[in-house]
Amino acid sequence: MALIVQKYGGTSVGSTERIKNVARRVARWKAMGHDLVVVPSAMSGETNRLIGLAREISAMPDPRELDVVASTGEQVTIGLLSMALMEQGLKAKSYTGAQVKILTDSAHTKARILNIEEANMRADLAAGCVVVVAGFQGVDEMGNITTLGRGGSDTSAVALAAALKADECQIYTDVDGVYTADPRIVPEARRLTTITFEEMLEMASLGSKVLQIRSVEFAGKYNVKLRVLSSFDDVDTPGEGTLITFEEDEKMEHAIISGIAFARDEAKITVRGVPDRPGIAYAILGPVGDANIDVDMIIQNVSVDGMTDFSFTVHRNEYQKALDVLNDKVKAHIGALDIGGDEHIAKVSVVGVGMRSHVGIASQMFRTLAEEGINIQMISTSEIKISVVIDEKYVELAVRVLHKAFELDQQPA
């Protein structure tokens, strides 16, 4: 008998019939003798609807009150799922994040988990209950409801698995695993049976929507075994999904490149005519960081006559906020000539642990894009990934040609 944490995404609980299907799946696992903690998201589209309502009231909703509104979607789902489990003849009990006491910091809409009190959940599990916990939410030290940001239900599930020392954390979504590329763009994309945590962390950070990046970070930090599965597989004959492993071994698929990731939701900002002197990068990015804006790729041009241009990317939702910060707090302070940007860019990346022991990956990537007339605006690398910023209109073409160039449609030897 194992303790398993299962997370179900919004599409998996998008209707009452789908919620009943989740209950049947959970009942099957329970019948096999396992203890279950289930973490559902809000029903698909519900969080967007709630945030939309808030923005009909206020163009810039107060973050604390926005969390109060946005967190209600999961509260509905846990109640409905608990009822559905009871209809399956199971004992079930639902908890909001506050009822569990998933303690977070006070960064509303982007809170981070600090601690989880598991005593009540363990008591319910010992009594034979299926414990159903609202994803995406917690509570700060003052008792304020907080939310964990987009995709936060994944993080909730992994954090609960870590706190409870679960045997496995299963992430159920609308795809049956992690693919070499988005199958909607590349029909030849293959499902990976295994992928390393390093690769999955890069894929998540670079735009793959299968798992939220913080959930992968959490899993890696606390050694939580993760598996991605489809909630639409037959309940009685489920697929094996994709196992995310902690290290490479002889059973791993031996491929130089494991996947192609992309992100359309980026924007580029360029600060032109910047004095090229020590501390200038901090003078630009310090106020941006203080505004709780995440910066991704960064590039500084060669100095000409003591002046340079400084470019970086941010999430498209934070583009205007970042521009406002730079214009209000940075431009005059550092004597920059101009601040501009581009909201029509995309990031495309190749990822693979095999890059550590193979040369020529970058040149092959750049040659492939050049042959299609795709201009590279920015480049970023690590040991196991190469990312480029390109014009958004070329993103699907870039993903397809790179997938073919690296022969990802072929089974590795």
Which domain range does residue 92 map to? 3-250
Last residue of a domain, one of 250, 270, 305: 250
Q: Do residues 265 and 297 both lie within one domain?
A: yes
Dig out the tokens for 342 from the structure.
């581009």
**Overall average pLDDT of the 185-213 stretch:** 84
Beta-strand ranges (E) seen in 69-160 are: 92-95, 102-104, 113-116, 130-133, 137-139, 145-147
Picking from 250, 275, 298, the residue at the C-terminal end of a domain is: 250
Same-domain check for residues 88 and 130: yes
Q: Which residue has the tokens 């590039």?
A: 299
Helix (H) or strand (E) holding 156: helix 152-164
pLDDT at 340: 94
Whether residues 208 and 316 share a domain: the answer is no
Question: pLDDT tens across 260-319, in order?
Answer: 999 998 999 999 999 999 999 999 999 999 999 999 999 988 888 899 999 999 999 999
CA distances, 341 to each of 63, 67, 132, 266, 329 (Å): 26, 30, 44, 11, 17
Q: How far is residue 87 from each of residues 26, 90, 92, 131, 231, measured CA to CA in Å? A: 12, 7, 10, 15, 19
Cα separation, 410 vs 413, in Å, equals 9
Using one digit for the tens of pLDDT, what is the confidence trace for 35-72?
999 999 999 999 999 999 999 999 999 999 999 999 99
What CATH number does the domain containing 331 carry?
3.30.2130.10
Task: Let me know if residue 322 belongs to a domain.
Answer: yes
Residues 216, 302, single domain; the answer is: no
In a domain, 374, yes or no: yes
Q: What is the pLDDT of residues 337-366, one digit of tens each?
A: 999 999 999 999 999 988 887 889 999 999
pLDDT of residue 413: 57
Q: Same structural domain for residues 78 and 99?
A: yes
Look at residue 253 and tell me whether its pLDDT is greater than 60.
Answer: no
Q: Same structural domain for residues 58 and 110? A: yes
Clarify whether residues 182 and 94 are in a common domain.
yes
Residues 59 and 180 in one domain: yes
For the chain, how many helices (H) and strands (E)? 14, 20
Residues 387 and 365 in one domain: yes
77: in domain: yes
| Residue 410 is assigned to a structural domain of this protein | no
Residue 389 in contact with residue 376, Cβ under 8 Å? Answer: yes
In the chain, the number of structural domains is 2
Q: What percent of the chain has pLDDT over 90?
A: 73
CATH code at 234?
3.40.1160.10
- Measured CA to CA in angstroms, residue 314 lies from 70, 107, 206, 289, 363 at distances of 23, 19, 12, 11, 26
Contact 397, 368 (CB under 8 A): no
Tell me: do 208 and 353 sit in the same domain.
no
How many angstroms separate the CA atoms of 208 and 350, rounded? 11
Residue 411 belongs to some domain of the structure: no
Region 121-142: mean pLDDT is 97
**Same domain membership, residue 289 and residue 216:** no
Distance CA 323, CA 187 (A): 38
Residues 36 and 173 both lie in one domain: yes
User: Quick check: is 21 in a domain?
Assistant: yes
d(CA 136, CA 155): 7
User: Is the predicted pLDDT of residue 166 greater than 60, yes or no?
Assistant: yes
Domain end call among 250, 272, 289: 250
Higher-confidence residue: 184 or 370?
A: 370
Residue 412 lies in a domain: no
